[in-house]
């Protein structure tokens, strides 16, 4: 088959409709595209690509380009940036579950046209045998070849890892991120690494470290990979640190509010003391006036003195009471400062410990090999822990209809184990009916503890590798 014949053979009904709409054509003998069969659509598309319909004949006479390449070049097909035909085939084969075969074929044809045309007979034979059309026995033969392949094409550890990290961090930036990033790129696009380093303090003040590093990575793709990777990691760390500081600033704000309330109460007591001082002063002044105006005798004078002494004693008691109240407020204020300070220190320690634990946990559960099974697990309880320990296995949450559907649509999965723990009777019946509808083998499992569940999964994996299951 030719490249056109192969492409037309691989397309589905949806793509056939899209092609006919693109050229504004309707299959011969039908009034509407929707009423035609897929075979009728393919026959008409073949005539379009070979410029055999009246409309295509007129257009080719007017000098229009080849319709087949006009169409495939117009489609928004993501092309993997592989350096060789073999690497391109490996990348496309990894994505076979996510990308239709006709798109993989176009991708390979447009990226490596000559190498693809040489293998058209092999593609044709693969189609006839019912295997992957792009099966050319392209395999990685040594560990060194595998390491080189991973470095080139894996998102977070390959050659494009710095740019990929910066792209992911964009989702966690503030609203002005895009405009500041553009300004920063315009400013530093002609800087070399030495100038960027020497002026980094000034650049950080203007744009912040994450934006500055992102701008340098984007505008200096030819810089050494290790340097760009370090800049990306530092930008990611700075963004995480800023988010932690934001949480701490919340506690500090609460501390300031509480201290403000205490200060207001203290000021109120001091104002009250001043008021009492003024009242006593007024009484003393009034007594002096009375003594002068009435010329009181000694007895009356003694009575007024006694009254004045009583007032002074009362004042002294109130003053001591207010002083004790002030001391209590000061002690409360000091205690509040110490308590909130301790909370802030504990939060900082917990955040650092959590980072270390999370990093260690991720590293502990990483696997350095791929692992495929013919069974999957549906569970409600213990899902997050089990998924973290066995990320390579097909484990889905009982509440996620989409995950369950994807598991049941997976042709590699033959048996589905359903963990009964935590499931309601209604959930169990619905999930069981769904499994049976997809003709999968259903098996219910129950364990007394999470530990037994994890050990059972480890046993199943061991048996799978040994070929027992």
Closest CA to 196 of 177, 159, 180, 204: 204
Closest CA to 67 of 23, 108, 15, 99: 23
Max avg pLDDT among 42-56, 258-272, 343-357, 379-393: 42-56
Helix (H, G, I), strand (E, B) or coil at 443: strand
What is the crossing angle of helices 425-437 and 401-409, to 10°?
Answer: 30
Instruction: Measure the CA–CA gap between 66 and 29, rounded to whole angstroms.
Output: 25
The CA–CA distances, whole Å, from 368 to 144, 229, 371, 457 equal 14, 22, 10, 18
Query: Which residues, 6 or more positions from 438, have their beta carbon under 8 angstroms from its beta carbon?
Result: 408, 409
Q: What does the pLDDT look like over 19-50, one tens digit per residue?
A: 999 998 889 878 788 888 999 999 999 999 99
Instruction: Measure the CA–CA gap between 91 and 401, rounded to whole angstroms.
Output: 30
Per-residue model confidence (pLDDT) at position 304 = 73
CA 218 to chain CA mean position, Å: 20
Q: What does the pLDDT look like over 413-449, one tens digit per residue?
A: 999 999 998 899 999 999 999 999 999 999 999 998 8
Between 123-127, 263-267, 317-321, 386-390, the lowest mean confidence (pLDDT) is in 263-267
Cβ-contact 401, 468 below 8 angstroms? no
Instruction: Measure the CA–CA gap between 246 and 60, rounded to whole angstroms.
Output: 65
Cα-trace Rg, the chain: 39
Q: Ramachandran region of residue 63, left (φ > 0), alpha (ψ -120 to 50) or beta?
A: left
For 168, phi then psi, to 5°, come to -65, -40
Secondary structure percentages of the chain, helix, strand, coil, to 5: 70, 5, 25
Query: Which residues, 6 or more positions from 134, have their beta carbon under 8 angstroms from its beta carbon?
Result: 89, 92, 93, 101, 104, 105, 108, 123, 126
By CB atoms closer than 10 A (0-12, 13-18, 19+), residue 228 is: buried
Per-residue model confidence (pLDDT) at position 248 = 42
Q: Tokens in use for 128?
A: 């006839």
Query: Which residues, 6 or more positions from 114, have their beta carbon under 8 angstroms from its beta carbon?
Result: none
In this model, does residue 147 exceed pLDDT 70? Answer: no
Query: Which residues, 6 or more positions from 306, have their beta carbon under 8 angstroms from its beta carbon?
Result: none
Cβ-contact 216, 194 below 8 angstroms? no
pLDDT bracket for residue 76 (50, 70, 90)? low
Q: Tokens in use for 425?
A: 């009777």
Helix (H, G, I), strand (E, B) or coil at 445: strand
Cα angle value 25/31/35 (rounded, 5°): 95
Closest CA to 120 of 266, 199, 7: 7
Cβ-contact 377, 417 below 8 angstroms? yes
- Give me the mean pLDDT over the 97-108 stretch: 87
Q: Tokens in use for 258?
A: 């509480």
Max avg pLDDT among 261-275, 327-341, 374-388: 374-388
Per-residue model confidence (pLDDT) at position 414 = 92
Average pLDDT over the chain reads: 79
């Amino acid at each position: 088959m030719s490249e056109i014949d192969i492409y037309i053979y691989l397309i589905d009904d949806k793509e056939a409709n899209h092609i006919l709409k693109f050229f504004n054509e309707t299959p011969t003998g039908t009034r509407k595209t929707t009423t035609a069969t897929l075979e009728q659509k393919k026959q008409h598309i073949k005539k379009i690509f070979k410029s055999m319909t009246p409309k295509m004949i007129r257009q080719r006479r007017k000098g229009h380009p080849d319709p087949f390449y006009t169409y495939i070049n117009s489609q928004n097909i993501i092309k993997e940036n592989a350096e060789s035909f073999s690497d391109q085939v490996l990348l496309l084969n990894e994505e076979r579950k996510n990308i239709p075969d006709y798109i993989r074929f176009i991708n390979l044809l447009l990226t490596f046209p000559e190498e693809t045309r040489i293998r058209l007979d092999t593609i044709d034979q693969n189609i006839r045998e019912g295997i992957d059309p792009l099966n050319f026995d392209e395999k990685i033969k040594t560990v060194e070849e595998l390491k080189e392949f991973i470095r080139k094409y894996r998102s977070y550890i390959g050659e494009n890892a710095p740019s990929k990290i910066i792209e992911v961090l964009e989702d966690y930036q503030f609203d002005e991120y895009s405009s500041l990033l553009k300004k920063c790129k315009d400013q530093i696009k002609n800087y070399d690494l030495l100038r960027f380093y020497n002026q980094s303090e000034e650049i950080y003040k203007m744009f912040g470290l994450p934006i500055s590093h992102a701008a340098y990575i984007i505008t200096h793709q030819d810089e050494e990979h290790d340097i760009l990777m370090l800049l990306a990691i530092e930008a990611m760390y700075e963004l995480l640190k800023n988010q932690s500081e934001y949480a701490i600033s919340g506690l500090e704000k609460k501390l300031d509010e509480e201290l403000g309330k205490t200060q207001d109460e203290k000021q109120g007591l001091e104002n009250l003391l001043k008021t009492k001082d003024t009242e006593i002063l007024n009484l003393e002044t009034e007594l002096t006036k009375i003594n002068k105006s009435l010329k009181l005798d000694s007895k009356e004078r003694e009575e007024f003195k006694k009254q004045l002494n009583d007032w002074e004693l009362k004042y002294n008691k109130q003053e001591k009471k207010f002083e004790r109240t002030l001391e209590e407020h000061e002690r409360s204020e000091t205690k509040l400062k110490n308590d909130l300070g301790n909370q802030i220190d504990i939060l900082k320690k917990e955040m650092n410990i959590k980072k270390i634990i999370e990093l260690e946990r991720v590293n502990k559960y990483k696997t350095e090999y791929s692992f495929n099974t013919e069974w999957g697990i549906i569970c409600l309880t213990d899902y997050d822990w089990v998924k973290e320990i066995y990320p390579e296995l097909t484990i889905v949450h009982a509440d996620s209809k989409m995950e369950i559907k994807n598991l049941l649509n997976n042709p590699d999965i033959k048996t589905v184990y359903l963990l009964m723990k935590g499931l309601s009777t209604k959930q169990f019946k619905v999930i069981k009916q769904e499994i049976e509808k997809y003709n999968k083998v259903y098996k219910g499992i129950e364990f007394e503890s999470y530990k037994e569940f994890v050990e059972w999964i480890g046993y199943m994996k061991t048996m799978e590798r040994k070929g027992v299951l």
